[in-house]
Amino acid sequence: MLLDGKVLSNKIKDELTKKVKNFLVKPCLAVIQIGNDEASNVYIKSKEKACNEIGINFIHAKFEEDVDEQEVINKIIELNNDKYVNGILLQLPIPKHFNQQKLLNLIDKNKDVDGLTDINVGLLFKGNNNLVPCTPLGIIKLLQEYNIEISGKHAVVVGKSNLVGKPLAMLLLQNGATVTICHSKTVNLKKYTEQADILISAVGKKGLITEDMIKDNSIIIDVGINRIDGKLYGDVDFDNVIDKASYITPVPGGVGPMTVAMLLNNVIKNYENNVEKNSR
C-alpha cells in the first residue's frame, strides 16, 4: 500500500489555511539563500508557492556567493528582531567558505523552523521538541496517519545526516522504536536492513535498497531524491520492492510533500506560541 504524502500534506495545508484565516496578522516565513544552487532555487519556489497557498507571507533574502559573511549575519539579526517574522530558514547547502553552523546558530531558536540550531538539536535529544527538522517530523506524521505502530518495532535508518538521519532516529526512539542507524561505513548493509520492521533510506543513491534487502511486509520510507535525465528516483528499487512491502512511499509524492507541510506547520506553531506568550 502506498503511503501518500501528497494527500496528507494537502489535508494538513487545508487545516492550516483555516487557521491562518482567523489570524489578525499573517504569519511570515523568511528564507535566506546564499549563491545560486539550482536545486535550492527549485525548493525555494516550492516553499514560496506553499506559503502563498495557505496565506503565509514570504521573504526571500538572496545573496551572491561572494557576499561578505557579516552582511548575512546582519540580515539574520534583523529578521530575529522583526516581530512579524515567525520563521527563519537558511537554505542549504551554502558555499563551503561560509561557517554553516555559525550562521544557523545565529537564528533565534524560536524562529528556527528547520530545527537545526544547536539549542533545538539538544532539546530534541532530551525529548523536549521545540522545533523539529521538517522531514523527520513529516515521516512520523505519515506513519501516524496510516495507523502504523512505531512502538516496539525495529526501525533501521540508512543515513546519518543532521537534517534527516540523526533527528529521525531521536523521534523514532521517542515513539518507542528500537533504532539502528546505518551509514557509508556500515559493513554488510543488508544484514541490518533485512531485520527492519520500518526501513528508512535517506542517502541519495538510486536503487540502493533492493528487494532482497528487505523482509516481507516491512514498511519502507524512501527519503532519497535522485535527479537523473530530468526524472526523479528514490533510494529504493520501487518497482521490485512494492510487492514485498506492506507500505511504501513513492518518489515523488511521498516524503517530499510532507517536508513542505511540516515547514508550514512549524511557522504556524511558532506564530501561535508568540501570540500566547504576548497575551500573558
Grid cell of 7 as nine digits: 494527500
Let me know if 114 is a catalytic residue. yes
User: Could you confirm whether 91 is annotated as catalytic?
Assistant: yes
4, 33, 47, 75: which one is catalytic?
47
User: H helices then E strands: how many in the chain?
Assistant: 10, 10
Q: Is 32 helix (H, G, I), strand (E, B) or coil?
A: strand
Active-site residue, selected from the candidate residues 33, 111, 112, 114: 114
Write out the E strands in the chain.
28-34, 57-63, 87-90, 154-158, 178-182, 198-201, 219-222, 226-228, 231-233, 247-248
Of the candidates 222, 174, 224, the one whose C-alpha atom is nearest the C-alpha of residue 198 is 222
For 43, 82, 98, the CA distances from 75, given in Å and listed in that order, are: 21, 11, 15
CA 175 to chain centre: 18
Catalytic residue among 91, 166, 197, 222: 91
Coil, helix or strand at residue 192: helix
Q: Residues 152, 176: contact at Cβ < 8 Å?
A: yes
Specify whether the CB–CB gap between 86 and 104 falls below 8 A: no
Q: Determine whether 184 is exposed, middle or buried from the number of CB atoms within 10 Å of its CB (0-12, 13-18, 19+).
A: exposed
CA distance linking residue 148 with residue 27, whole number of Å? 32
Question: CB–CB of 111/79 below 8 Å?
Answer: yes
Is 11 labeled as catalytic in the residue annotation? no
Rounded CA-CA distance 241/86 in Å is 41
**Residue positions annotated with a catalytic role:** 47, 91, 114
